[in-house]
């Protein structure tokens, strides 16, 4: 069955939940945001609950009594700050390279939250406030009604962490746009859309051509006006260009904002869906032509407002649209060019079965009573293979509640949604760039699939077959060691397909099977050691003072490891000898025990024992003794990495600290303890 999470609060808004790239869920919980972090520990709950409090972010209450009636908003009259909309940013934007939690409050302000957390005691704090970056006058220009993030785009000549766009819809009919990257400060540009309140924003995917990329931002106002901005960025500059993209088709008179959603790209075609109560318009956008070609018009059965839209793919390259309304009605149809076919409604049967199971679990069910199902939030995962469903069941006639719960893997029950193309797309995204598509989210999706399918070996077989073509044996790696391309940056380690394939396999073994794969672990460690030594040699030739004393200690460990483990590989010995020459020390060096200053021999890559019996744990990257307190843990494989304070900004330790910001072995994100 699916993974239910019983929540103990009522949501403070519709559209109350959101999924991040690495599998976190966030819910609007009145004066705070409930965050569910997936846990891979054995004998622990599947989700760790964390909270982000909003009370601490508002230092001064606005003087709402000074406002005229036409300037007064209900949020100004509320004594507390209530979360109204939450959305995750793409990964890599926070200081710890996690996604930023973006919260829109009832006072129309936007805040960024990030975790400075310890294991099992998560705490999220406010790291930025958008009102300080927006113009304060007039008041309607800084009142935000909608928030949207674009996907990350990694241009060839830019940082592998990529950039993205952040959009804020204002009350004055403006859209504030800013380019965001890792630890960057927002710098907004405002564009007047000549409409009323901008209450809906949605980004399409990027279309990368050479060193530039374009995407579309669809905007909707409270009066139903639709505006589409075409945004182009270039890696040569930090700015972006915008142009109004016309929607060539006219809609019927509908003076209210629809729900906007973009599908994932399929064969250079993308769809923009406008979902009204009882009606759907889907506009086909051709990326090669750069314009909208046609649109589909479809009547929905339910008149209820939609709570979410999900675009699914099947194996024959057909896009299905799943629309779930607030009253729990699920409708699905395919986006074909010349025909709209309604399926035999297996999804409805699945939904009824799903709800009946939950009703039985969460309370007595009487056929005579009137039940009301409310879908508070319906958020697809970034890989479109599952969806988070936040719902509650109440009995209006007896004025009682039953429960509110979040179900993540509901759509795994639908056979037509899970397809090899989705799986392939997921794997391909992770193989290309783990910075943009973190492996934590990918492994979580695979785990959900594995839990729901009857044949559990299918997932593992598919994973092995998909990754086998990218794997490179140790022997082949050593043969081509001298011919490695692009060793100018350590971040390029996450762009290598073979390394990413090994990371996914190793991560899967740790994530699902709860067992270490020693072969994969050693292979990854070999590559890490040799790659860092080659990188160091290239940097030394450019900067003679690149190495500090701490850097030399790290390199000594690498040389010792190579002498011990790779003595039979000539090319590895050659690299190690060259490093040893630059260190100007003898080959039989040893570390000292911090407790008794005895000699510590390099015998193990995980633990170190001195002559007097003191045992120390080693850093998984630098293999130094973890005598200091500061360290961080990988959320997936629990490998420990020390946190250093380099004495100079340009040295090996500083580069390791800054650029190896996600786990080298599995691609997961770190938790700081």
Partner 1 sequence: MGPKSKEYENPSSYKNDEDNDDDGDFVLENVMSEEDIEIETPSRNRKRVSTTRRTPSKPIRSQPLTPSSSKGAGNEPKSQNSSTTRGSAKKQSSKGLEEKLINSYGTHVESLNKGRRLIEIWKYYETAPGQSSFEGQTSSDSKLQTLLNLDGQQLLSYSENPFYLFEVKNLSISFHFESPQQVEPCQPVNPFKENPQKSGFVVNTGIPLSSVSWLPTNKETQFLAVGGMLKFSETTESVFMRTSGRNQIQLWKLENKTNFKSEFILYHDWGSVLQLEWCPTISVEDSILGFLAVVCSDGKLRVLRVPRSPVKFHVFVEQADFTFGFNDSLISCCTWVSPEHGDIHQILVGCSNGYLALWDILSSQECPLFYIPYHDSYIHNVVQCLDDFPWLFLTTAFDCYTRIFDIRDPIIDNRPLSHKRDICYTITWNNMLQSIISCSESQSVVIESLRGTSTQLLDERNGSIISLSNSKFHPFVACAASDGIVTIVNPFRLLGFSHKQKANVHRIFQLEYSEKQDSYRMLDGFRPRLPKAKKLDMYIYPWQIQVNKVEWNGNKGYAGWLASGMACGILRVEDLSAVERR
Pick 104 or 130: Cβ nearer partner 1: 104
For the chain, state the CA radius of gyration. 27
Is residue 481 near partner 1 by the rule CB under 8 A? no
Number of residues that bind partner 1 (CB under 8 A): 51
Window 242-261: residues binding partner 1 (CB under 8 A): 252-256
* Calpha distance 372→394 (Å, rounded): 5
Q: Minimum distance between the CB of residue 558 and partner 1, rounded to whole angstroms? A: 55
Q: Minimum distance between the CB of residue 81 and partner 1, rounded to whole angstroms? A: 12
Q: For residue 617, give the H/E element and its range.
A: strand 615-617
Of 384, 382, 362, 380, the C-alpha closest to 371 is: 362
State the DSSP string of 90-111.
PTT-STTSPPPEEEEETTS-EE
Max intra-chain CA distance, the chain:
86
Pick 251 or 643: Cβ nearer partner 1: 251
| 8 A C-beta contact, residue 205 and residue 270 | yes
Q: Minimum distance between the CB of residue 66 and partner 1, rounded to whole angstroms? A: 5
Is residue 61 near partner 1 by the rule CB under 8 A? no
User: Which positions ≥6 away from 185 have C-beta within 8 Å?
Assistant: 133
Is residue 66 near partner 1 by the rule CB under 8 A? yes
H helix runs in 248-293, sequence order: none
Which range binds partner 1 by CB under 8 A, 271-279, 523-531, 557-565, 630-638? 271-279
* Calpha distance 608→581 (Å, rounded): 25
Q: Minimum distance between the CB of residue 311 and partner 1, rounded to whole angstroms? A: 22
Window 150-209: residues binding partner 1 (CB under 8 A): 196-197, 199
Window 84-123: residues binding partner 1 (CB under 8 A): 84-85, 104, 106, 108
Pick 259 or 502: Cβ nearer partner 1: 259
* Calpha distance 481→107 (Å, rounded): 57
**Position among 46, 348, 374, 617 found at the interface with partner 1 (CB under 8 A):** 374
Which range binds partner 1 by CB under 8 A, 126-134, 155-163, 367-375, 597-605? 367-375
Is residue 14 near partner 1 by the rule CB under 8 A? yes
Orientation angle between helical segments 457-468 and 497-511, nearest 10 degrees:
160
| 8 A C-beta contact, residue 639 and residue 665 | yes
**Position among 57, 67, 127, 640 found at the interface with partner 1 (CB under 8 A):** 67
Which range binds partner 1 by CB under 8 A, 11-19, 49-57, 577-585, 588-596? 11-19
Residues paired with 276 in a beta bridge: 279
* Cβ burial, residue 314 (10 Å; 0-12/13-18/19+): middle
At 656, is the secondary structure helix, strand, or coil? helix
**Position among 79, 250, 454, 465 found at the interface with partner 1 (CB under 8 A):** 79
Q: Minimum distance between the CB of residue 83 and partner 1, rounded to whole angstroms? A: 10
CA atoms within a 13 Å half-sphere pointing along the CA-CB vector of 235 = 16
* Calpha distance 312→320 (Å, rounded): 5
Pick 75 or 646: Cβ nearer partner 1: 75
**Position among 45, 210, 248, 396 found at the interface with partner 1 (CB under 8 A):** 396
Pick 194 or 606: Cβ nearer partner 1: 194
The pairing of strands 123-129 and 47-53 is: parallel
The pairing of strands 640-642 and 144-149 is: unpaired
Could you give the string, one character per residue 272-311, with x where binding to partner 1 holds by CB under 8 A and - elsewhere? ----xxxx-----------------------xxx------
Which range binds partner 1 by CB under 8 A, 36-44, 57-65, 201-209, 435-443? 57-65
Q: Which two tokens stand for residue 348?
A: 């409805």
Residues that bind partner 1 (CB under 8 A): 13-15, 63-70, 72-75, 77-79, 82, 84-85, 104, 106, 108, 145, 196-197, 199, 222, 252-256, 276-279, 303-305, 326-327, 370, 372, 374, 394, 396-397, 399, 401
């Amino acid at each position: 069955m699916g993974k239910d999470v019983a929540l103990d609060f009522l949501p403070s808004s519709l559209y109350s939940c959101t999924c991040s790239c690495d599998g976190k869920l966030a819910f609007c919980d009145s004066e705070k945001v409930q965050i569910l972090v997936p846990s891979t520990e054995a004998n622990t709950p599947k989700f760790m609950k964390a909270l982000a409090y909003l009370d601490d972010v508002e230092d001064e209450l606005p003087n709402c009594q000074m406002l005229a009636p036409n300037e007064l908003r209900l949020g100004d009259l509320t004594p507390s700050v209530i979360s109204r909309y939450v959305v995750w940013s793409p990964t890599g934007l926070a200081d710890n390279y996690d996604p930023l939690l973006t919260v829109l409050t009832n006072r129309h302000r936007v805040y960024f939250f990030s975790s400075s957390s310890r294991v099992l005691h998560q705490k999220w704090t406010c790291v930025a406030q958008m009102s300080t970056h927006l113009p304060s006058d007039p008041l309607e220009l800084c009142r935000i009604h909608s928030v949207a993030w674009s996907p990350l785009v990694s241009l060839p000549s830019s940082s592998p962490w990529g950039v993205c766009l952040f959009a804020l819809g204002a009350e004055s009919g403006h859209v504030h746009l800013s380019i965001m990257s890792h630890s960057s400060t927002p710098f907004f540009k405002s564009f007047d859309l000549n409409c009323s309140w901008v209450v809906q924003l949605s980004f399409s995917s990027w279309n990368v051509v050479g060193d530039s990329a374009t995407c579309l931002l669809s905007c909707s106002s409270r009066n139903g006006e639709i505006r589409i901005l075409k945004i182009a960025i270039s890696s040569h500059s930090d700015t972006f260009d915008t142009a109004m993209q016309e929607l060539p088709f006219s809609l019927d008179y509908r003076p209210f904002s629809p729900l906007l959603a973009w599908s994932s790209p399929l064969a250079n075609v993308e769809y923009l869906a406008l979902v009204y109560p009882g009606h759907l318009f889907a506009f086909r956008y051709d990326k090669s032509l750069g314009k909208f070609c046609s649109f589909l018009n479809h009547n929905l059965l339910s008149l209820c407002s939609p709570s979410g839209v999900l675009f699914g793919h099947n194996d024959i390259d057909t896009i299905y649209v799943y629309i779930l309304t607030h009253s729990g009605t699920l409708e699905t149809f395919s986006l074909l060019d010349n025909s709209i076919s309604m399926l035999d409604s297996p999804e409805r049967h699945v939904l009824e079965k799903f709800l009946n199971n939950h009703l039985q679990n969460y309370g007595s069910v009487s056929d005579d009573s009137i039940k009301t199902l409310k879908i508070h939030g319906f958020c697809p995962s970034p890989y479109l293979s599952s969806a988070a469903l936040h719902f509650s069941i109440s009995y209006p006639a007896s004025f009682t509640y039953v429960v509110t719960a979040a179900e993540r893997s509901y759509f795994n029950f639908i056979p037509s949604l899970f397809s090899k193309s989705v799986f392939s797309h997921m794997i391909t995204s992770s193989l290309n760039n783990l910075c943009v598509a973190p492996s934590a989210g990918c492994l979580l999706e695979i785990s959900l699939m594995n839990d729901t399918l009857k044949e559990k070996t299918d997932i593992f077989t598919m994973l092995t077959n998909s990754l086998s073509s990218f794997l490179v044996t140790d022997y082949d790696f050593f043969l081509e060691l001298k011919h490695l391309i692009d060793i100018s940056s350590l971040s390029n380690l996450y762009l290598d397909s073979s390394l990413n394939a090994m990371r996914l396999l190793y991560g899967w073994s740790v994530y699902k099977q709860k067992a270490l794969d020693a072969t994969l672990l050693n292979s990854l460690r070999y590559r890490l050691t040799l790659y860092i030594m080659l990188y160091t040699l290239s940097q030394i030739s450019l900067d003679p003072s690149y190495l500090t004393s701490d850097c030399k200690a790290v390199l000594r460990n690498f040389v010792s490891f190579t002498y011990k483990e790779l003595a039979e590989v000539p090319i590895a010995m050659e690299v190690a000898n060259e490093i040893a020459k630059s260190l100007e020390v003898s080959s039989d060096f040893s570390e000292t025990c911090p407790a008794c200053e005895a000699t510590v021999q390099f015998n193990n890559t995980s633990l170190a024992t001195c002559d007097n019996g003191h045992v120390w744990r080693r850093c998984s990257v630098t293999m130094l003794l973890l005598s200091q307190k500061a360290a961080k843990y990988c959320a997936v494989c629990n490998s420990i990495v020390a946190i250093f304070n380099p004495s100079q900004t340009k040295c090996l330790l500083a580069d390791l600290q800054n650029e190896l910001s996600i786990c080298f072995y599995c691609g997961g994100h770190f938790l700081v303890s």
